[in-house]
Amino acid sequence: MFSTKVISCSPREALYVLDGVLENNTILKIQEHTTDTHGYTEIIFALCYLLGFSFMPRIRDLKDQQLYRIDRNTNYGIFTPLLDKTADIDIVEEQLESMIWVAQSLKQKTAPANVIVQRLTNSFPSDRLSKAFTNLGRIIKIEYILRYMTDQKLRRKVQLQLNKGEYRHKLPRWVFFANQGEFTTNDYEEIMNKASSLSLVSNAILCWNTSKIKDIVNNLRENGENVEDETLAHISLLPYKHVLPNGTYFIDDRESDI
């Protein structure tokens, strides 16, 4: 886990998609990011494109998605009946310099990403900059949807990443046994302390699992077993049933002297 952020349950998750990607303190160079339907908007598609990494959400009800064309006079073959609306490419060209400035501000962390995303979202459609981001996002989203529908490897990749994320969530729930994975306070600082501590413990378990699995694989190979790297790619580093979240207690049951 490369980032921890406490957010309210009320706003849509898409507002905070970029925070963890841009504000983490690791050396990871993230190239792709997956979310479920609640984590995507057209503005997020546009910002990810300008920031230089691929946004790959799993969008529910693809058949209900509005599809856009760039030029209403162009024949897109069998896709033409599906592309029944036109994205405004002119406003994207008009606002491109400002859009690049926004992306640069995100990279330099001049303001929290969720604040910028929320302002762009709230000002649509009256604000021209927000409108430009939305129209660029529509173009990027359509290109992604067409790839998603026709590329089985891409679909599997997105599903695999989301499954890993869901399994990752099970680990801190297992560790955070006392409150069954729920914070029972509304104090932000206390919640952040608990969340950060939970991430630290979870990452420690991940490192321990990695070390032990590495030892097992090395031992198997030293004894002549053929363990392919491709096979290792399917092994999860997040098993947790061997972890005793409530600890082990040793009680001295010898009779005390009276």
Give me the residue spans of the domains in the chain: 13-150, 166-232
Per-residue buried b or exposed e for 18-33, using 16+ beta carbons within 10 Å of the residue's own CB: bbbbbeeeeeeeeeeb
pLDDT per residue rounded down to tens, the chain (258 residues): 566 677 777 777 788 888 878 877 677 777 888 888 888 899 999 999 999 989 999 988 888 888 898 888 888 888 888 888 899 999 999 999 999 999 999 988 888 888 999 999 998 888 999 999 999 999 999 999 989 989 999 999 999 888 888 777 788 888 886 656 567 777 878 888 888 888 888 889 989 999 999 999 999 999 998 988 888 877 888 888 888 877 777 777 665 554
CB burial of residue 154 (10 Å; 0-12, 13-18, 19+): middle
Distance CA 175, CA 201 (A): 8
Alpha helices (H) along 38-151? 42-51, 89-107, 113-123, 128-150
Structure tokens at 190: 């206390």
Q: What pLDDT score does 148 carry?
A: 93
Q: What pLDDT score does 245 carry?
A: 79
Rounded to two decimals, the pTM is 0.77
Per-residue buried b or exposed e for 227-243, using 16+ beta carbons within 10 Å of the residue's own CB: eeeeeeeeeebeebeee
Q: What pLDDT score does 71 carry?
A: 86
DSSP letter, residue 237: S
